[in-house]
């Protein structure tokens, strides 16, 4: 070692590198082990390697990690999304080695760090150093490792990762910086919404049909491959405000154990940026565009834009135009164009309060495969809410409430607000009060509605009279 250091100091680096290569060839003749390296970040995509993540999950859960002397612990939540508390995830510490066995072969895993050789700014998020796992095995097991063992590790690691993963709620970042990749793409928080289909106020038959359709989609990989379609499905949720569209999305995510990507179109710079966001979306995901009729001007039925005034043109010329330039064509390609096939097992969900405002091309069958209307609360939905909020399945006031619900429209959100006890610790004593409050709200809603209908009728009559007077010939 002393002589090699002196040699490298006084002789050229090129000669030293050549001698190093020949030295490695000489050592390989007597060294019978082969090494495979899995880096945490590879290539130019600046994205964490899926193979590295699978190896990390496999080693954390396999029996070989029980023999590791040095472990690192990280606090994490279970993937149930129910807020059930934190657990400790144990993984191999840096510079630790464990031994695994497979079909009679011994395999050596070690966790290493490759220090950066440059003082330049690193593009890797965690640190300038690059972490990696190294697999070492005897050369006689090469075929076994290449053909069976690596596939076993990746499959097991991915399955363990999906089982233990934390479901997340993503949103696209609003700032764009070509020098800092961390400001691009998606940011996230843990998804812990408690909504389920059991707690949704909806007709039971309609609810069961939606659940069956979602489960069939999640199990339909082979079917979609056989018919030649990307593994995705579109849902259009429409109805008045307060009818549970966002709650329905949360229930879908909890049923299928999917991540949620809440896409804010007004924050997307152009169609190219929209495609980049699409490429960063993982599988097992729900892509949500809420209030699609308000996100962009997508409701104009492809009419030509009106000419702008000279003052507006001057203003646009003098100021930077920061509005989104995503077009209807770009959004359609995002949903079911060629780029939409980059990835699988995705749901695309649109929500809107005014479905008639949307361009027909945006919601046709094939793009939005299921159109689900979430309407006002009926008696079946009320019983679900009464069971959720008050813990009751029947009451003497139910008959009166059923009659009022048939006569008057009220949203599930309004019903839930009236059923909310003032003291959640004293629900039993609040049942009569809450049901009475709901009856009063229904009666007031009926009265206000009748007054509104009367005013609307008077306005219509006045408009007809005015039109007749204007159409009459002047004397």
Question: Is 174 within 8 Å of 267 (Cβ atoms)?
Answer: yes
Cα dist. 45→73, 123, 181, 239 in Å?
28, 10, 10, 41
Distance from C-alpha of 436 to C-alpha of 416, rounded to nearest angstrom:
13
Mean per-residue pLDDT for 107-126? Answer: 66
Phi and psi angles of residue 76, each rounded to the nearest 5 degrees, phi first: -150, 165
Least confident of 39-43, 138-142, 343-347: 39-43
Boundaries of CATH 3.40.50.300 in the chain? 169-298+324-373
Cα dist. 31→28, 37, 93 in Å?
5, 17, 27
Mean per-residue pLDDT for 191-197? Answer: 92
Alpha carbon of residue 274 to chain centroid: 15
Least confident of 93-97, 206-210, 242-246: 93-97
Residue 426 corresponds to which tokens in the numbers above?
A: 């004293």
CA dihedral sign, ordered 241, 247, 250, 255: negative
Per-residue model confidence (pLDDT) at position 382: 93
Q: What is the CA radius of gyration of the chain?
A: 31
End-to-end distance of the chain based on CA atoms, in angstroms?
A: 118
Question: Is 102 within 8 Å of 21 (Cβ atoms)?
Answer: no
Tally the C-alpha atoms within 13 A of residue 330's C-alpha that lie toward its C-beta: 18
Residue 388 corresponds to which tokens in the numbers above?
A: 């959720």
Report the chain's mean pLDDT, rounded to a whole number. Answer: 78
Q: What is the pLDDT of residues 326-368, one digit of tens each?
A: 888 888 878 877 777 777 789 999 999 988 888 888 888 878 9
Secondary structure (3-state) at 158: helix
Distance from C-alpha of 92 to C-alpha of 62, rounded to nearest angstrom:
11
Who's near 467: CB < 8 A, 6+ residues apart?
none
Least confident of 5-14, 219-228, 426-435: 5-14
Q: What is the pLDDT of residues 382-412, one digit of tens each?
A: 999 999 998 899 999 999 999 999 888 899 9
Give the H or E element holding residue 40.
none
Who's near 396: CB < 8 A, 6+ residues apart?
none
> Which CATH number describes the domain made up of 169-298+324-373?
3.40.50.300
Phi and psi angles of residue 243, each rounded to the nearest 5 degrees, phi first: -100, 5
Distance from C-alpha of 300 to C-alpha of 425, rounded to nearest angstrom:
51
Per-residue model confidence (pLDDT) at position 78: 46
260 pLDDT higher than 90: yes
pTM for this prediction: 0.69
Per-residue model confidence (pLDDT) at position 430: 81
Question: Is 165 within 8 Å of 283 (Cβ atoms)?
Answer: no
């Amino acid at each position: 070692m002393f002589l090699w250091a002196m040699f490298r100091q006084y002789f050229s680096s090129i000669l030293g590198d050549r001698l190093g290569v020949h030295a490695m060839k000489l050592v390989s003749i007597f060294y019978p082990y082969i090494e495979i390296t899995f880096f945490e970040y590879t290539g130019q995509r600046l994205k964490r390697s899926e193979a590295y993540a699978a190896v990390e999950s496999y080693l954390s859960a396999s029996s070989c990690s029980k023999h590791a002397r040095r472990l690192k612990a990280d606090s994490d939540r279970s993937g149930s999304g129910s807020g059930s508390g934190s657990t400790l995830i144990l993984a191999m510490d840096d510079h630790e080695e464990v031994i695994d066995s497979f079909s009679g072969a011994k395999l050596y895993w070690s966790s290493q760090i490759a220090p950066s050789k440059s003082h330049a700014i690193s593009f890797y998020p965690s640190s300038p150093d690059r972490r990696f796992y190294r697999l070492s095995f005897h050369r006689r097991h090469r075929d076994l490792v290449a053909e069976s063992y690596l596939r076993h590790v990746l499959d097991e690691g991915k399955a363990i990762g999906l089982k233990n993963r934390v479901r997340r709620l993503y949103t696209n970042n609003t700032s764009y910086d070509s020098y800092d990749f961390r400001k691009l793409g998606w940011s996230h928080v843990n998804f812990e919404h408690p909504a389920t289909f059991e707690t949704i106020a909806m007709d039971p038959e309609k609810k069961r049909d939606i659940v069956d359709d979602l489960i069939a989609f999640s199990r339909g990989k082979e079917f979609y491959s056989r018919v030649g379609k990307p593994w995705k499905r579109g849902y259009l949720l429409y109805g008045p405000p307060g009818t549970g569209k966002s709650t329905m999305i949360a229930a879908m995510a909890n049923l299928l154990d999917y991540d949620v990507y809440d896409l804010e179109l007004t924050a997307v710079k152009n169609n190219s940026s929209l495609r980049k966001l699409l490429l960063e979306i993982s599988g097992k995901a729900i892509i949500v565009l809420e209030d699609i009729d308000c996100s962009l001007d997508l409701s104009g039925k492809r009419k030509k834009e009106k000419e702008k005034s000279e003052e507006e043109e001057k203003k646009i010329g003098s100021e930077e135009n920061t509005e989104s330039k995503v077009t209807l064509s770009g959004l359609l390609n995002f949903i079911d164009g060629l780029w939409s096939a980059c990835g699988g097992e995705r749901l695309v969900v649109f929500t809107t309060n005014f479905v008639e405002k949307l361009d027909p091309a945006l919601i046709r069958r094939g793009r939005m495969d299921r159109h689900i209307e979430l309407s006002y609360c009926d008696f079946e939905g009320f019983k679900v809410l009464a069971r959720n909020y008050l813990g009751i399945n029947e009451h003497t006031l139910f008959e009166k409430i059923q009659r009022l619900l048939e006569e008057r429209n009220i949203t599930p959100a309004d019903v839930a607000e009236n059923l909310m006890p003032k003291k959640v610790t004293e629900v039993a004593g609040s049942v009569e009060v809450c049901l009475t409050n709901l009856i009063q709200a229904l009666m007031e809603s009926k009265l206000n509605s009748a007054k509104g209908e009367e005013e609307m009728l008077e306005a219509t009559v006045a408009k007809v009279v005015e039109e007749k007077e204007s159409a009459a010939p002047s004397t």
